[in-house]
Structure 1
Amino acid sequence: MLTIRARRLFDGRNMHHDRVVTVANGRITAVTGPGGAVAGQGRPGMVDFGGGSGVPSEIVDLGDATLLPGLIDCHVHLAFDASLDPLAGLEAPGLIDRMREAARRHLAAGVTTVRDLGDRDFLALRLGLGAAGPEILASGPPITTTKGHCWFLGGEADGEEAVREAVRERARRGVHVIKMMVTGGEMTPGTHSHRRQYGAAELKAAADEAHAHGLPITGHTHCAEGTAYALEAGFDSVEHCSFFTEDFIEVDHGLLARLAASGIVVSITAGLAPAAAPLPPRMLHLLPALRESLRALGAARVSFVIGTDAGIAPVKPHGVLPYGAQMLVEHGFARLDVLRSITSTAARHCRVEHRKGRIAPGFDADLVAVDGDPLADITALHHPMAVFRQGRHVSA
């Protein structure tokens, strides 16, 4: 059994002070305050658990730290290596081993659950890391049109029936979410971020088939039209939700109001880590407008989580989620909302809210302790003092 003390505890919803968390068999068994039974009873090195059972306990006193639920990154690509040419690594031997190492980098940053939204050959379902890495919720290869965005991952499907069969295949393989490329993207030559790849009938077919199998569906969409089509098709969430036009970015405030009213979740791919490699010229040109669209998302009060798109470029290394949280705060999002977006809100979005994203009895003992108070200074998330996965102290 493990007992953890910290000056502050963010339980996934609110901040508390001077709490003690008890862990056994990979689960949280109790959370008590000052003077509580766990904190105050039993001889040194022991805690009174289960009516005075005297079960030996390791005690970790974190001092002036904040204990949080393990963080959740809702959009990563473990198959991409965050290099200048992330596609090259797909062809090199040892891809699954590199994916395992990428996953471990997330864990070292305090991210105990990741949602992989695009791999090759469904490898993310086969990593088998256990407590040595984050829990992985995976989509497999994203569904895309022939030669569409990320076609090289192997998810090409055209027409309603082919799209339905692609969803059924993923359900048979045990994916946790369906990912569909509603628009083109920056990574794939010949596709365009401001253009849709699928029509309304195909998108609705995919959403209906996903829901028939009890799976959520999310759509990669970089333009207003694509986002509107995903919303109308019944998608559960959209990734990016940027507002690309052929030449620039133009925020559709009416669409943002519709998103906020609908409750559909926007997975904001925020976070740029300091990197030696500069942004490509096109992205440097668009960055100010992208930042304004981020502010507009915050002002519209859409339901949101953070999915960093980790792996796609040097500024998106694996483990970049703390920079995503920092970026949102810097663009006007409330710190409390941001902390919830990477813990309890993310867990609900990923359909693991019954065991992830909270510090409460019965939940998985996936925890991160940071130096300082992230409600006062969000950059405290950059300084993990300890990471626990399934109740095991695994990092820092």
Structure 2
Amino acid sequence: MTRHGDRWGLRASALFDGCALHRGRPLVVVEGDRIADVDLSGADPSSDLPVADLGDATVLPGLVDSHAHLTFDPHGDVPSQMREESDDFLRALARRHARQALDAGITTVRDLGDRGYVCTEVRDSKDEELPEILVAGPPITRTGGHCWFLGGETDGVDGLVAAVRERARRGVDVVKIMATGGMLTPQWDSHESQYSREELAAVVRTAHAEGLPVTAHAHGLQGLADAAGAGVDGVEHCTFLTETGAVPDWATIEALCDAGTFIGVEEARLPGDDTLLPARIRRMLEARGEYLTQMSRAGARVVGCSDAGINPRKPHDVLPYGVISFAHFGFSTAEALASVTETAAHACGVGDRKGRVTAGYDADLLVVAGDLSRGLEGLLNVTSVVRAGREVRSGTGERLPIGTN
């Protein structure tokens, strides 16, 4: 495997550039760790440019998972693990899970909740065998609140302001706050608000003053309305749960659309028997499937993500299954793919260099067999993964011509 200074090309029958699907043997030229050029003409390149022609395949930006938990073992007892395991163990687990994501073509991962900032060290190692990692550190939560075992318990405006400043000092990329309860911890039900609108607004003001965005875990109807009113940059889940079911609040959806708030939809999960899920979760998923496309058509900035690590159907390479689900909900191929590329990159604050296949952007690329317009299931058939201009996985056994002359 080779590195900077190399100029080479990659050609396939189709290219999704982050916005639209192109055919006619497009050519992507990579130099060092950046995309140097994209040629949609189908013309032959200069004879001195080494080019891999992968035939019937689609090139697309490396996927961006805006909501994962790299330290969570999907097959383990997460609360117990977070209480008992060492930092070294959790860092090693995070690295293993990050590599698993990269092998699936996920070249950027935003960790939205670890214990004790252990993922910060993994991020800062800049390991070229891993995706680019963005971190939130321990999510802010009420005393005894959702995911309290991660160490982010904080109460009151003064405590919240101090917690945000602590995260800024630690160098996080985003502030995560639990606006409502959740399903992983029983102390606060998912529909119940953990903070008031005023408390959430204090978090947003302080984070923005520190140059940091805020994303809010928000299941409940009131919690979503308060998060929108407080001016958060993103909401995670957006399920509009009530005590008995899930009812979309179109006034809140309109407010989120008007503000350009990113809406993280953690739809990605392995195929399985949904009848085995608790009845309330089944109703939530069914309701979200009904209003998700309506939200997108209304202008919502819907981001496909995974919440990887929280249960066995959410391993750290599961994101492509969420894209497939979006297509089943009525998203077009381009809309579904954009939700995990361009839109997701902007949600993570890296949209000026990731999520697109265009000149000047990071050379993070995914190649899958076939034309994705024939079915997004092709995302599961990985041909190659390129991270920062360097091939890190080849599904064919043949290396790309990186570094040849």
TM-score by length of 1: 0.91
User: Is residue 2:44 matched to residue 1:30?
Assistant: no
Other-structure match for 2:200: 203
- Offset of residue 89 of structure 1: 3.1
Tell me which moved more, 158-167 or 295-304: 295-304
Other-structure match for 2:75: 83
- Offset of residue 252 of structure 1: 1.8
SS of the counterpart of 2:241?
coil
Other-structure match for 2:17: 11
User: Is the 2:30–2:363 Cα contact (8 Å) retained in structure 1?
Assistant: yes
User: Is residue 2:152 matched to residue 1:155?
Assistant: yes
Task: Show structure 2 runs of 5+ residues with no match.
Answer: 1-5, 396-405
User: Is the 1:374–1:380 Cα contact (8 Å) retained in structure 2?
Assistant: yes
- C-alpha distance in 1 between matches for 2:221 and 2:283: 19
- C-alpha distance in 2 between matches for 1:183 and 1:198: 7
Tell me which moved more, 324-333 or 132-141: 324-333
Distance 1:30 1:287, change over 3 A: closer
User: Is the 1:77–1:116 Cα contact (8 Å) retained in structure 2?
Assistant: yes
User: Is the 2:27–2:42 Cα contact (8 Å) retained in structure 1?
Assistant: no
- C-alpha distance in 2 between matches for 1:269 and 1:35: 37
User: Is the 2:228–2:252 Cα contact (8 Å) retained in structure 1?
Assistant: no
Once the two structures are superposed, residues 144-189 of structure 1 have per-residue CA deviations (whole angstroms, 9 ceiling, x without a partner) of: 1111111100111111111111111111111111100000111112
User: Is the 2:26–2:42 Cα contact (8 Å) retained in structure 1?
Assistant: no
SS of the counterpart of 1:375?
helix
User: Is the 1:217–1:237 Cα contact (8 Å) retained in structure 2?
Assistant: yes
Q: 1:247 aligns with which of 244, 247, 258?
A: 244
What amino acid is aligned across from residue 384 of structure 1 in structure 2?
V
Other-structure match for 1:41: 46
Q: 2:363 aligns with which of 337, 362, 365?
A: 365
User: Is the 2:246–2:283 Cα contact (8 Å) retained in structure 1?
Assistant: no
Distance 1:170 1:273, change over 3 A: same
User: Is the 1:13–1:344 Cα contact (8 Å) retained in structure 2?
Assistant: yes
Other-structure match for 2:216: 219
- C-alpha distance in 2 between matches for 1:10 and 1:99: 30
SS of the counterpart of 1:87?
helix
Task: Show structure 1 runs of 5+ residues with no match.
Answer: 48-56
Q: 1:381 aligns with which of 379, 382, 387?
A: 379
- C-alpha distance in 2 between matches for 1:15 and 1:335: 9
- C-alpha distance in 2 between matches for 1:208 and 1:35: 50
- Offset of residue 249 of structure 1: 1.5
- C-alpha distance in 1 between matches for 2:242 and 2:258: 24
SS of the counterpart of 1:40?
coil
- Offset of residue 280 of structure 1: 4.2
- Offset of residue 298 of structure 1: 3.8
What amino acid is aligned across from residue 70 of structure 1 in structure 2?
G
Other-structure match for 2:96: 101
Distance 1:89 1:280, change over 3 A: farther
What amino acid is aligned across from residue 92 of structure 2 in structure 1?
D
Distance 1:301 1:211, change over 3 A: same
Q: 1:124 aligns with which of 119, 140, 145?
A: 119
- C-alpha distance in 2 between matches for 1:201 and 1:35: 56
Alignment of 1:305-384 (within 5 A): 305-384=303-382
Alignment of 1:297-308 (within 5 A): 297-308=295-306
- C-alpha distance in 1 between matches for 2:243 and 2:144: 20
User: Is residue 2:264 matched to residue 1:267?
Assistant: yes
User: Is the 1:275–1:314 Cα contact (8 Å) retained in structure 2?
Assistant: no
User: Is the 1:76–1:115 Cα contact (8 Å) retained in structure 2?
Assistant: yes
- Offset of residue 325 of structure 1: 0.7
Other-structure match for 1:92: 85
Tell me which moved more, 16-25 or 155-164: 16-25
Once the two structures are superposed, residues 129-150 of structure 1 have per-residue CA deviations (whole angstroms, 9 ceiling, x without a partner) of: 5220110111010011111111
- Offset of residue 257 of structure 1: 2.6
- C-alpha distance in 1 between matches for 2:392 and 2:370: 20
- C-alpha distance in 1 between matches for 2:313 and 2:61: 25
Once the two structures are superposed, residues 334-359 of structure 1 have per-residue CA deviations (whole angstroms, 9 ceiling, x without a partner) of: 22112111111111221112211111
- C-alpha distance in 1 between matches for 2:302 and 2:133: 20
- C-alpha distance in 1 between matches for 2:326 and 2:91: 32
SS of the counterpart of 2:37?
strand
| RMSD, matched Cα | 1.8
User: Is the 2:63–2:105 Cα contact (8 Å) retained in structure 1?
Assistant: yes
User: Is the 1:367–1:388 Cα contact (8 Å) retained in structure 2?
Assistant: yes
What amino acid is aligned across from residue 75 of structure 1 in structure 2?
H
What amino acid is aligned across from residue 96 of structure 2 in structure 1?
E
- C-alpha distance in 2 between matches for 1:80 and 1:337: 29
- Offset of residue 286 of structure 1: 4.2
What amino acid is aligned across from residue 392 of structure 1 in structure 2?
R
Tell me which moved more, 177-186 or 352-361: 352-361
Q: 1:176 aligns with which of 173, 178, 181?
A: 173
- Offset of residue 199 of structure 1: 1.0
User: Is the 1:143–1:179 Cα contact (8 Å) retained in structure 2?
Assistant: yes
SS of the counterpart of 2:29?
strand
